[in-house]
Amino acid sequence: MPTITTPDGVEIYYKDWGTGQPIVFSHGWPLSADDWDAQMMFFLQHGYRVIAHDRRGHGRSEQVSTGNDMEHWVEDLAALTAQLGLTDAVHIGHSTGGGEVARYVARYQDRVAKAVLVASLTPNMYQSEDNPAGQPAEWFEAIKDGSLNKRADFFRDVPEGPFYGFNLPGAERSEGVIANWWRQAMAGSIQAHYETPNSWLEDYTEDLRKITVPVLVMHGEADQVVPFASSVPRAVDLLQNGTQKSYPGYPHGMLTTHADVLNPDLLAFIQS
C-alpha cells in the first residue's frame, strides 16, 4: 500500500490516481479515504489527479496512541502534500476534514489554488451565546460514550439516522451505504474515534480569517450533525473570498446521498 511517514514516524496511507491539477480530499469522522470514492472517480474521469488519505488512526493508516488531534492531522496532510510535490491544488474537506482543510490552507496557501468546505464544522459547532444553533455539551459526550462503550452498535445507529438523514420523512434508506459507513468506521482505532470529538470543540475562526484563496462553503440545510445555522453564514462572513451554496433537505452525508448533484457543483467551482 502507498504510504508516507510523518515527521513523528507515523505511516499514513493514501490513494493517488491520475494526472492533471491535483484535488486533495480530507474525510470526516470516523471514516477513511474510501468515503470519497464517488468524488475521486468523477474527477478522475474529468482529467484531474485525485488524492485522498486515511487520517492517522483511521482506515489503513497506523493506529498510534498519540497525535489524534487537529494539529497532528494538519501536519500529516502537509507532509503528504510535500512528499507528493503538490502545488496549485484544490483541497476539499468534509465535516472534521473541513477543519483540517481550513487550518491547512491557512498555513500553506502557497500550495493551494482553491478550497471547499462541505458540511464542515467551521468556524465552530459547539453551542454558545454566540452560536446558539450549535450542538450542546451533552451531544459531544454522547458521541464519545457511544464510540467507547457500544461502538459496533453505535456505528450502525449513526449512519442509519442523522449522518445520512435516513431518519427524515421520505428519505430512501440504503443498507449498502449504512454497511459501507460501518465498514470504514470499524477499521479505525477506537482511541482515535473517541478522541476526535475534542477537535469539534475547537474554534477555527482565525484559520478562516487568514484564508485568501477562493473557498466554496457547501452545506445541507437538513444537516443534523453540524447544524446549518451553526456553520454556513458564519463561515462565509469570515472568509475573504468565500461563496455559499446550500441544499434544502440535504443531510450531513450529502456527498454520498446526492453525489449526482454535488459533484457537478464542485466541478463548476473548480473550473470557474
Residue 155's pLDDT band, with cuts at 50, 70 and 90, is very high
pLDDT per residue as tens digits for the range 48-83: 999 999 999 999 999 999 999 999 999 999 999 999
pLDDT the model gives residue 137: 97
Catalytic residue among 91, 223, 230, 231: 223
> Has 35 been annotated as catalytic?
no
- For residue 1, the model assigns a pLDDT of 86
Q: How far is 186 from 31, CA to CA, in rounded Å?
A: 9
Instruction: Give domain 3-271's CATH superfamily.
Output: Alpha/Beta hydrolase fold, catalytic domain (3.40.50.1820)
Q: Is the pLDDT of residue 144 over 90?
A: yes
pLDDT at 140: 98
Catalytic choice (95, 120, 147, 189): 95
Query: pLDDT tens digits for 179-213?
Result: 999 999 999 999 999 999 999 999 999 999 999 99
Please state the rounded mean pLDDT for residues 134-160: 97
pLDDT over threshold 90, residue 30 = yes
Q: What angle do CA 247, 253, 75 make, to 5 degrees?
A: 110
Distances (CA, A) of 154 to 15, 181, 182: 28, 12, 9
C-beta separation of 192 from 63 below 8 A: yes
Q: What is the 8-class DSSP label of residue 126?
A: B
Phi first, then psi: give them for residue 138, nearest 5 degrees: -65, -25
Q: For this structure, is 252 an active site residue?
A: yes
Catalytic residue selected from 58, 91, 94, 252: 252
What is the predicted pLDDT for the residue at 231? 87
Task: List the chain domain ranges.
Answer: 3-271
